[in-house]
Amino acid sequence: MSPAERPELVIFDCDGVLVDSERLAVKIEVEVFAELGWQLTPLEVAERFLGVSDADYVAMIEGEMGRELPEGWLSGVNERLRQAFEEKLEPVAGVEAALTALAAAGLECCVASSGRPEKIRHSLALTGLSEHFGDRLFSAVDVGRGKPAPDLFLHAAAVLGYHPSRCTVVEDSPIGLQAARAAGMAAVGYDGGLVPRERLGIGGVSVIADMAELAPLLLNS
C-alpha cells in the first residue's frame, strides 16, 4: 500500500538505503563473530543486527555470548569497516537520481540512522551524497532509545518542523520499518537482497527493489 498522500519530509536510513554498505558490513561481521567463536551466516547476521545502534549491538552480542566483549572490540570492528568503506563503498544504485527528483518536487530529505554521526558523514562524503542533505543528519546517539523505538524518526521530524503524518521513512530493515510505523509515519521498504522481502512488507508497507521506483511512488501518492 502506498503512502496515503504525498509526504513533505522523506527520512532516509543510511546503510543499505543510501550507501551500499550492508554487504560489506555483513561480510566483516561474519568474520569477527567467527573470531569470537560464534558462527553465523550472512542471513543470520542481517536478520539479527541490521539497523541496530552500536549500544544495542554490543548488548545483544554480550547477551548471546554470556560474557563481555574484549576491550576495544567495537573500535576494532569499526576500523575494519572504515577501511572497507574507503576501498569499496558506493551509493545505492539509483538513489542519487531519486534524491534529485524528490528535491525538484519540493520534498525535503534527511538522514536518520542508527550509525554514529561521524560514520554517517563519512559514508555520505565517500559516495558524493552529502550535498543532498547538508546538516539534516540524525543519529541514534541523539535519542534515548534506538530503533525499533520511534524516537529517532520523531526527533528528526520535530527538529525539522514536520508532523509525523507528513513524513515517509525509507528503510531496509524490519526494525527500522517497525520504528517508522510506531512513529505514525508512512514507510517504504527497500529490498536490497539481504533480508527476505516478506520481512519488509509489514503492516502494509510498500516494498521496492529499485530506487528508480521511489520518486514515482512518493510523488504520485
Per-domain residue ranges for the chain? 9-20+90-219, 22-88
- What's the pLDDT score for residue 47? 85
Residues 6+ apart with CB under 8 A from 39: 33
pTM: 0.88
State the cell numbers at 78. 569499526
Active-site entry in 13, 15, 151, 172: 13
Judge if 9-20+90-219 and 22-88 fold alike in CATH terms.
no
- What's the pLDDT score for residue 221? 65
- What's the pLDDT score for residue 18? 98
**Diameter of the chain by CA atoms?**
51
From first to last of its 221 residues, what are the pLDDT tens digits of the chain? 344 579 999 999 999 999 999 889 999 999 999 999 999 999 899 888 888 888 899 999 999 999 999 999 999 999 999 999 999 999 999 999 999 999 999 999 999 999 999 999 999 999 999 999 999 999 999 999 999 999 999 999 999 999 999 999 999 999 999 999 999 999 999 998 888 888 888 777 899 999 999 999 999 86
- What's the pLDDT score for residue 98? 98
Architecture of domain 22-88: Orthogonal Bundle (1.10)
- What's the pLDDT score for residue 22? 87
State the cell numbers at 79. 576500523
Q: Quick check: 105 and 99 in contact, CB under 8 A?
A: no
Has domain 9-20+90-219 been given CATH number 3.40.50.1000? Answer: yes
Respond yes or no: is residue 13 known to be catalytic.
yes
Which helix or strand (DSSP H or E) is residue 189 part of? strand 186-190
Helices (H), the chain: 22-35, 42-49, 54-65, 73-88, 95-104, 117-126, 151-160, 174-182, 197-200, 214-219
- What's the pLDDT score for residue 198? 86
Q: How far is CA 106 from CA 12, 68, 124, 159, in A?
A: 16, 48, 21, 18
Residue 160 in 3-state DSSP?
helix
- What's the pLDDT score for residue 2? 41
